[in-house]
Amino acid sequence: MPDLSSFPITQRWPASHPDRLQLYAAPTPNGVKVSIMLEETGLAYEPHLIDISNNESKDPAFVSLNPNGRIPAIIDPAGPDGRPIALWESGAILVYLAEKTGQFISTTPTQRYETLAWVFFQMSAIGPMFGQLGFFLRFGGKDYEDKRPQQRFIDESTRLLGILDRRLEGRDWIVDDYSIADIATLGWVNALVEFYAAGDILGLSSFSNVRAWLGRGLARPAVQRGLHIPARPA
């Protein structure tokens, strides 16, 4: 049985199944990237809810795993050298899990790097911009009298949706096959609709390729499961 006791986070969130991959997350657009990937790959894992509304990602035990204090993070008891490995940053985790399982990333160099480019596009552009838009639509920013900052993120989010829509012209998925590029991006686009209620303000109805792609993604059972893992308290 793997010994995870050297990771302080396991004292705060004990592992009932230390032989399984440990997921520390919340069902946010960043968190569900990893839960969807784990559901898609079929890897055995144990989810732990990190309640970000109560600043649990700033708990010293969590920060010992991710110094940036953001979900998600993982511990894989069966790391590349046979020893446990801890990882943070959702994009890095997706690449790691794809390489570990040989799933959802091509072994063809050109397609592989193309996939990574779109993963990094999500990490550097879609996530930060959509997240800031959400702040202005759903959280404290909605009360700001000056609407120019909100408009900036509306405009930038609309631009990014246009890039994604053009990429999806004539394609079912972002790269040739369903991949970590799609897994990285689905939760964020879904959040625009379901959580931020930004569909109208962004004119999402005009991005027909994005809407069709989102529908295909949401039709996948693993995506539906992953969107709700770790489960929030009832």
Mean pLDDT of 195-204: 94
Do 122 and 198 share a domain, yes or no? yes
Mean pLDDT of 136-151: 89
Residue type for 213, please?
W
Q: What is the reported pLDDT for 124?
A: 98
Locate 130 and state its tokens.
């959509």
Do 88 and 113 share a domain, yes or no? no
Cα(140)–Cα(207) distance, rounded to whole angstroms? Answer: 28
Domain boundary among 50, 82, 103: 103
Do 60 and 115 share a domain, yes or no? no
Q: What angle do CA 138, 202, 222 make, to 5 degrees?
A: 75
| Contact between residue 35 and residue 20 where contact means Cβ atoms under 8 Å apart | no
> By residue range, what is the domain housing residue 180?
109-220
Locate 208 and state its tokens.
């027909």
Do 208 and 125 share a domain, yes or no? yes
Cα(212)–Cα(189) distance, rounded to whole angstroms? Answer: 12
Among positive and negative, which fits the CA dihedral 172, 134, 180, 218?
A: negative
**Would you place residue 193 in the very low, low, confident or very high pLDDT band (cuts 50, 70, 90)?**
very high
Cα(207)–Cα(210) distance, rounded to whole angstroms? Answer: 5
Residue 58 half-sphere exposure, CB side, CA atoms within 13 Å? 4
Instruction: Encode pLDDT of 96-124 as tens digits.
Output: 999 999 999 999 999 999 999 999 999 99
Instruction: Encode pLDDT of 33-68 as tens digits.
Output: 999 999 999 999 999 999 999 999 999 999 999 999
Locate 26 and state its tokens.
């919340």
Residue 141 has pLDDT above 90, yes or no: no
Total domains in the fold of the chain: 2
The CATH number assigned to the domain holding 22 equals: 3.40.30.10
Residues near 150 by beta carbon (within 8 Å), at least 6 away in sequence: 133, 136, 137, 141, 142, 144
Is there a domain that residue 2 lies in? no
Residue 30 has pLDDT above 90, yes or no: yes
Do 141 and 82 share a domain, yes or no? no
Mean pLDDT of 15-41: 98
Task: Flag whether the pTM goes above 0.85.
Answer: yes
Is there a domain that residue 97 lies in? yes
Q: What is the reported pLDDT for 48?
A: 98
Is there a domain that residue 83 lies in? yes
Residue 172 has pLDDT above 90, yes or no: yes
**Would you place residue 232 in the very low, low, confident or very high pLDDT band (cuts 50, 70, 90)?**
confident
Residues near 36 by beta carbon (within 8 Å), at least 6 away in sequence: 183, 186, 187, 222, 223, 225, 226, 227
Residue 1 has pLDDT above 80, yes or no: no
Do 68 and 145 share a domain, yes or no? no
